[in-house]
């Protein structure tokens, strides 16, 4: 189905990747921890190494929960598929795309 309209109806996405330059949006989700009221979104460079992503963005975010232990996260997934990220891999190398969802359990 598509929109019924009085004229042609074709508009670009208001959040397409090109609007973020060399960066992209990345969603983060701490599975099975209802203390985190929602999943989060960050803007991160595609070339950001995993260790930086953890230290600068994901870990401080997970610290919303006072019991968060940075050594605890595991069972990582990317868009539903299991991954085992290493510190020096960039987000791009990990296969993280614009609006990808990274999740973990802890």
Partner 1 sequence: MSNARKLSMKNRYSALTRDLDWTPTYVDPKAVFPFTSFEGIKIHDWSKWEDPFRLTVDSYYKYQAEKDKRLYAVLDGFAQSQGHLSLTDARYLNAMKLFIQGVTPLEYAAHRHFAFLSRYYDGPGPRFAAQCQSVDELRHTQTEVHTLSNYNKYYGGMHNWPEQFDRVWYLSVPKSYFEDAMSAGPFEFLIAISFSFEYLLTNLLFVPFMSGASFNGDLPTMTFGFSAQSDESRHMTLGLEAIKFLLEQDEANVPIVQAWIDKWFWRGYRLVALIAQMLDYMLPRKVMSWKESFELYFEEQMLGGLFPDLEFYGITKPRHVEQAIGEKDLLSHQVYWALYQFSFAAGFTTTVPEDDHLDWLSANYPDTFDKYFRPLWDKAKKVQDEGGRVFFRGLPQLCQVCQIPMLFTEPGDPMRLAQRQVVHNGERYDFCSDGCQWIFEREPEKYVQAWLPVHQIYQGNCGGPSVPEVLAWYGLQDGDAGEYAGSVDQQNWERWHDHAGKADVEAPVEAEVRA
Residues in the chain: 106
> Least distance in Å: CB of 20 to partner 1?
7
Nearer to partner 1, 60 or 86 (CB): 60
CA distance 6 to 26: 36
Nearer to partner 1, 39 or 86 (CB): 39
Helix (H) / strand (E) element for 44: namely strand 40-45
If one asks whether residue 82 binds partner 1 (CB under 8 A), the answer comes out as: no
Phi/psi for 52 (5° steps) reads -70, -40
- Sequence-distant (6+) residues with CB within 8 A of 16 are 98
Taking CB under 8 A as the criterion, which residues in 4-23 touch partner 1?
A: 4-6, 9-17, 19-20
If one asks whether residue 72 binds partner 1 (CB under 8 A), the answer comes out as: no
CA distance 25 to 44: 6
Classified as helix, coil or strand, 17 is helix
If one asks whether residue 98 binds partner 1 (CB under 8 A), the answer comes out as: yes
Nearer to partner 1, 29 or 89 (CB): 29
Binding site for partner 1 (CB under 8 A): 1-6, 9-17, 19-20, 25, 27-29, 31-32, 34-43, 57, 60-61, 63-64, 66, 79, 97-101
């Amino acid at each position: 189905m598509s929109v019924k309209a009085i004229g042609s109806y074709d508009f670009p996405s208001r959040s397409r990747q090109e609007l973020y330059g060399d960066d992209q949006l990345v969603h983060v989700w701490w599975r099975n921890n209802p203390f985190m009221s929602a999943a989060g979104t960050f803007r991160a460079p595609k070339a950001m190494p995993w260790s930086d992503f953890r230290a600068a963005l994901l870990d401080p975010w997970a610290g919303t929960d006072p019991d968060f232990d940075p050594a605890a996260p595991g069972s990582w997934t990317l868009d539903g598929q299991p991954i085992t990220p290493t510190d020096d891999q960039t987000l791009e190398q990990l296969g993280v795309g614009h609006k990808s969802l990274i999740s973990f359990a802890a």
